[in-house]
Structure 1
Amino acid sequence: MPSWRELKRFCERDGWELYKDTDHYFYRKIMDDGSLKRTKISKGTGEISSRLWKNILKKQLQVDEAYFNTMI
Protein backbone atom coordinates (compact mmCIF):
# COMPACT_ATOMS: atom_id res chain seq x y z
CA MET A 1 0.00 0.00 0.00
CA PRO A 2 1.23 3.50 -0.70
CA SER A 3 2.04 6.04 1.98
CA TRP A 4 0.29 9.35 2.52
CA ARG A 5 3.44 11.03 1.20
CA GLU A 6 3.17 9.05 -2.07
CA LEU A 7 -0.47 10.08 -2.44
CA LYS A 8 0.54 13.73 -2.03
CA ARG A 9 3.29 13.29 -4.64
CA PHE A 10 0.76 11.74 -7.05
CA CYS A 11 -1.57 14.72 -6.69
CA GLU A 12 1.25 17.20 -7.28
CA ARG A 13 2.50 15.37 -10.39
CA ASP A 14 -0.98 14.72 -11.80
CA GLY A 15 -2.00 18.39 -11.78
CA TRP A 16 -4.17 18.53 -8.66
CA GLU A 17 -4.51 21.88 -6.86
CA LEU A 18 -3.81 22.21 -3.14
CA TYR A 19 -6.72 24.37 -2.01
CA LYS A 20 -6.58 23.97 1.77
CA ASP A 21 -3.76 23.12 4.18
CA THR A 22 -4.94 22.49 7.74
CA ASP A 23 -4.45 19.32 9.76
CA HIS A 24 -4.79 17.56 6.35
CA TYR A 25 -3.95 18.51 2.77
CA PHE A 26 -7.01 19.07 0.57
CA TYR A 27 -6.55 18.68 -3.17
CA ARG A 28 -8.93 19.12 -6.09
CA LYS A 29 -8.75 18.64 -9.84
CA ILE A 30 -11.16 20.09 -12.39
CA MET A 31 -11.55 17.69 -15.29
CA ASP A 32 -11.95 18.65 -18.95
CA ASP A 33 -15.68 17.91 -18.77
CA GLY A 34 -16.06 20.35 -15.85
CA SER A 35 -16.42 17.68 -13.17
CA LEU A 36 -14.50 18.08 -9.93
CA LYS A 37 -12.45 15.44 -8.14
CA ARG A 38 -11.37 15.96 -4.51
CA THR A 39 -9.23 14.12 -2.01
CA LYS A 40 -8.01 14.68 1.54
CA ILE A 41 -4.50 13.57 2.51
CA SER A 42 -3.30 12.94 6.03
CA LYS A 43 -0.10 14.64 7.15
CA GLY A 44 0.84 11.35 8.80
CA THR A 45 3.82 9.36 7.61
CA GLY A 46 2.40 5.83 7.57
CA GLU A 47 0.88 3.64 4.91
CA ILE A 48 -2.73 3.92 3.84
CA SER A 49 -4.80 0.92 4.91
CA SER A 50 -5.83 -1.47 2.14
CA ARG A 51 -9.56 -0.84 2.47
CA LEU A 52 -9.19 2.93 2.55
CA TRP A 53 -6.72 2.87 -0.37
CA LYS A 54 -9.18 0.98 -2.60
CA ASN A 55 -11.85 3.57 -1.77
CA ILE A 56 -9.51 6.51 -2.50
CA LEU A 57 -8.49 5.04 -5.87
CA LYS A 58 -12.03 4.31 -7.00
CA LYS A 59 -14.07 7.21 -5.61
CA GLN A 60 -11.64 10.11 -5.21
CA LEU A 61 -8.75 9.73 -7.66
CA GLN A 62 -10.79 7.70 -10.18
CA VAL A 63 -7.68 6.05 -11.63
CA ASP A 64 -6.32 2.52 -11.58
CA GLU A 65 -3.33 1.45 -9.54
CA ALA A 66 -1.10 1.14 -12.62
CA TYR A 67 -1.64 4.82 -13.52
CA PHE A 68 -1.08 5.87 -9.92
CA ASN A 69 2.23 3.98 -9.84
CA THR A 70 3.48 5.68 -13.02
CA MET A 71 2.92 9.10 -11.44
CA ILE A 72 4.71 8.54 -8.13
Structure 2
Amino acid sequence: MPSWRELKRFCERDGWELFKDTDHYFYRKIMADGSLKRTKVSKGTGEIPKWLWKDILKKQLQVDEAYFNKMI
Protein backbone atom coordinates (compact mmCIF):
# COMPACT_ATOMS: atom_id res chain seq x y z
CA MET A 1 0.00 0.00 0.00
CA PRO A 2 1.24 3.49 -0.74
CA SER A 3 1.97 6.04 1.95
CA TRP A 4 0.21 9.37 2.41
CA ARG A 5 3.45 11.02 1.22
CA GLU A 6 3.29 9.03 -2.04
CA LEU A 7 -0.33 10.09 -2.58
CA LYS A 8 0.69 13.74 -2.13
CA ARG A 9 3.57 13.27 -4.60
CA PHE A 10 1.17 11.70 -7.11
CA CYS A 11 -1.17 14.69 -6.90
CA GLU A 12 1.68 17.14 -7.39
CA ARG A 13 3.13 15.27 -10.38
CA ASP A 14 -0.24 14.56 -12.02
CA GLY A 15 -1.30 18.21 -12.13
CA TRP A 16 -3.69 18.37 -9.18
CA GLU A 17 -4.18 21.77 -7.55
CA LEU A 18 -3.71 22.17 -3.80
CA PHE A 19 -6.71 24.30 -2.90
CA LYS A 20 -6.81 23.98 0.88
CA ASP A 21 -4.13 23.21 3.47
CA THR A 22 -5.55 22.61 6.94
CA ASP A 23 -5.21 19.47 9.03
CA HIS A 24 -5.22 17.67 5.63
CA TYR A 25 -4.15 18.61 2.11
CA PHE A 26 -7.10 19.06 -0.24
CA TYR A 27 -6.44 18.61 -3.96
CA ARG A 28 -8.63 19.01 -7.03
CA LYS A 29 -8.18 18.46 -10.74
CA ILE A 30 -10.39 19.82 -13.51
CA MET A 31 -10.56 17.33 -16.36
CA ALA A 32 -10.69 18.15 -20.08
CA ASP A 33 -14.44 17.44 -20.15
CA GLY A 34 -15.02 19.95 -17.33
CA SER A 35 -15.57 17.36 -14.60
CA LEU A 36 -13.89 17.86 -11.24
CA LYS A 37 -11.97 15.27 -9.24
CA ARG A 38 -11.12 15.82 -5.57
CA THR A 39 -9.09 14.02 -2.96
CA LYS A 40 -7.94 14.61 0.61
CA VAL A 41 -4.45 13.65 1.76
CA SER A 42 -3.65 13.09 5.43
CA LYS A 43 -0.64 14.87 6.89
CA GLY A 44 -0.04 11.74 8.90
CA THR A 45 2.74 9.30 8.22
CA GLY A 46 2.60 5.65 7.30
CA GLU A 47 0.68 3.61 4.80
CA ILE A 48 -2.86 4.20 3.65
CA PRO A 49 -5.07 1.33 4.91
CA LYS A 50 -5.88 -1.16 2.13
CA TRP A 51 -9.67 -0.69 2.31
CA LEU A 52 -9.30 3.09 2.10
CA TRP A 53 -6.68 2.98 -0.67
CA LYS A 54 -8.94 0.98 -2.98
CA ASP A 55 -11.70 3.56 -2.46
CA ILE A 56 -9.38 6.53 -3.09
CA LEU A 57 -7.95 4.96 -6.23
CA LYS A 58 -11.34 4.09 -7.74
CA LYS A 59 -13.62 6.93 -6.63
CA GLN A 60 -11.32 9.92 -6.19
CA LEU A 61 -8.21 9.53 -8.37
CA GLN A 62 -10.02 7.43 -10.98
CA VAL A 63 -6.80 5.83 -12.24
CA ASP A 64 -5.37 2.31 -12.08
CA GLU A 65 -2.49 1.29 -9.84
CA ALA A 66 -0.06 1.06 -12.77
CA TYR A 67 -0.64 4.73 -13.64
CA PHE A 68 -0.37 5.75 -9.99
CA ASN A 69 2.93 3.88 -9.58
CA LYS A 70 4.32 5.42 -12.77
CA MET A 71 3.60 8.93 -11.47
CA ILE A 72 5.14 8.53 -8.02
Give TM class, smaller chain. over 0.9
Q: Please state how far the C-alpha of 1:68 moved relative to its aligned partner.
A: 0.1
**Structure 1 residue runs of 4+, over 2 Å off?**
none
Q: Normalized against structure 2, the TM-score is what?
A: 1.00
Partner of 1:14: 14
Number of residues of Structure 1 aligned to a counterpart in Structure 2: 72
Q: Please state how far the C-alpha of 1:41 moved relative to its aligned partner.
A: 0.3
Q: Normalized against structure 1, the TM-score is what?
A: 1.00
Q: Please state how far the C-alpha of 1:38 moved relative to its aligned partner.
A: 0.1
Q: Please state how far the C-alpha of 1:17 moved relative to its aligned partner.
A: 0.1
Gaps of 5+ in 1: none
What is the rounded CA distance, in whole Å, between the counterparts of 2:56 and 2:48 in structure 1?
10
CA RMSD in angstroms comes to: 0.2
Q: Among all aligned residue pairs of Structure 1 and Structure 2, give the percentage whose two residues are the same amino acid.
A: 89
Q: Please state how far the C-alpha of 1:3 moved relative to its aligned partner.
A: 0.1
